[in-house]
Amino acid sequence: MAIVDQKWSALPVPFAMERADRVPKERYFDPDFYRLEVDQLWSRTWQMACRLEEIPRPNDFTEYQILDQSVIVVRTEDGGARALQNVCRHRGVRVVEGGGNCDSGFTCPFHGWCYAADGANTFVSKARTFAEHNLHPDDLDLTPVRCEVWGGCAWINLDDGAPPLRQCIEPFATTFDAWKMESFRAEWWYSFRLPVNWKLAEEAFLEQYHVIETHPQLVIPGRFPPRDPTTFDPRTFVESELHYLRTMSDGMAGMVHADDVRVAEALRHMQLPSDPTSALATWQHTLNDAVVRWHRDRGSVIPDLNELEVAGLNEPMGYCFPHFYVLPMYSSASSYRFRPLGPEETLMDIWSLTRFPVGSTAERPTPPEPWDYDDPRVPPIPIQDFSNLPRQQRGLHARSFEYMRLSEGIEGGVANFERTVDGFLAGLPYEKLLPALRQINLNPLERPVVDLDL
């Protein structure tokens, strides 16, 4: 029996994925379903809390907010990070807002209780007025939160019983270890408020079925081998490739860095074979080598792109459940993070990442003020994606519409994602969830529906 025909209703979840290729619309706006996500998913998953360049020096800190929870992430002396619940143990005031440096510790702005950078309580004002049971030393420190560092980022998990980070983000971690993700640095960072459910926002990037209609400028004649190889023109092919690279760079920056476009343009007069398949392979291999050489000559750390190709790791997208994407191309990458703000509102961050020479200093990024989804400053490619989302969110409320119907072959990334959500909402133990996570922490594009064994 095909996977899409298998019943999924054994999981005790409202509006469950009864069939892998049908997504009930209520999952995107029902308040009770959203509350279940808050309680069972976001409280149990590893989340990318910050990039380490946000906290470059020991005792630099930043605040990570997820739903009604606030976490302080602090850089440690050994280059790692720790995390603490951002709430004073006296009367529940949030100790910090935003970021800064805590060389002198933290002081609650309400009554002056003080904490060291590691969260240890160092001072209680008017301590003699408190009963002894309210001043027990083991109960005054800021509460620690699970925190691990990987890939140039600090990750947090609100569940003390969750498996270690690495177990939960494979094989994404192995793929991006090969990309030397820890050597990426942010060139810019934008944030957007999207008037849609968080899952709907993410699913716009879990398939590429939408590309031809949503991003017509990326459909460039001459980029792919013609049906009749005798009509292939290497010069036209090269110009089409350069047009594509410029379009991607102008539309998304980190997807194809301007430096890499210039490297490619310097190759425009290279001689290519007349056979289209050989020409495509020669062009890609030569461009990969040229990009790597250009960046290494400037002292940057960059993997051998052709070795990644041979190893099958030169993927156009990596996804890490529940909310993190990396889209690498040549030297650089775009990175996305999604966080729910309500049943029908999402905060999306986009970073443009690139390589800097070892030892160089980059400006410490400031958390951006979120823009509206239709702000004219939004880069051209994301604004095309964003234009569909509010229309879709509104459309799901139509009385005649019951469920989204998915293509089993090319929208399987959406189906696999939604069924993994159900696994968390059903409260399944981690030993059941980890195999499913290993199935979806992959490049989701053109991914078929797979058996998640939940």
Q: Is residue 216 part of a domain?
A: no
Q: Is-contact 118 82, C-beta < 8 A? A: yes
Verify cis geometry, omega within 30 degrees of 0, for the bond prior to 14: no
Q: Is residue 391 part of a domain?
A: no
Per-residue pLDDT of the chain (454 residues), as tens digits, is 455 555 555 678 999 999 999 999 999 999 999 999 999 999 999 999 999 999 999 999 999 999 999 999 999 999 999 999 999 999 999 999 999 999 999 999 999 999 999 999 999 999 999 999 999 988 999 999 999 999 999 999 999 999 999 999 999 999 999 999 999 999 999 999 999 999 999 999 999 888 888 888 888 887 877 888 888 999 999 999 999 999 999 887 668 999 999 999 999 999 999 999 999 999 999 999 999 999 999 999 999 999 999 999 988 899 999 999 999 999 999 999 999 999 999 999 999 999 999 988 777 888 999 999 999 999 889 999 999 999 999 999 999 999 999 999 999 999 999 999 999 999 999 999 999 999 999 998 888 999 998 8
Structural domain count, the chain: 1
Q: Is residue 385 part of a domain?
A: no
CB atoms within 10 A of CB 298: 14
What does the alpha-carbon distance between residue 361 and residue 323 come to, in Å, rounded to a whole number?
Answer: 29
Domain span at residue 146 reads 47-161
Backbone phi, psi, residue 135, to 5°: -125, 30
Q: Is residue 103 part of a domain?
A: yes
Q: Which two tokens stand for residue 371?
A: 């823009």
CATH number of the structural domain spanning residue 62 = 2.102.10.10
Q: Is residue 65 part of a domain?
A: yes
HEC sequence for 70-134: EEEEEECCCCCEEEEECCCCCCCCCCCCCEEECCCCEECCCCCCEECCCCCEEECCCHHHCCHHH
Residues paired with residue 325 on neighbouring β-strands, in sequence order: 319, 336
Report the first-to-last Cα separation within the chain, whole angstroms: 17
Q: Is residue 105 part of a domain?
A: yes
CB atoms within 10 A of CB 369: 7
Which of 351, 431, 297 lies closest to 52, judged by CA?
351
Q: Is residue 149 part of a domain?
A: yes
Q: Is-contact 72 59, C-beta < 8 A? A: no
pLDDT at residue number 1: 44
Tell me how far CA of residue 322 lies from CA of 196, 203, 292, 309, 422, in angstroms. Answer: 16, 11, 32, 27, 12
Q: Is residue 288 part of a domain?
A: no
Reduced to 3 states, what is the DSSP secondary structure of residue 261? helix
What does the alpha-carbon distance between residue 115 and residue 106 come to, in Å, rounded to a whole number?
Answer: 5
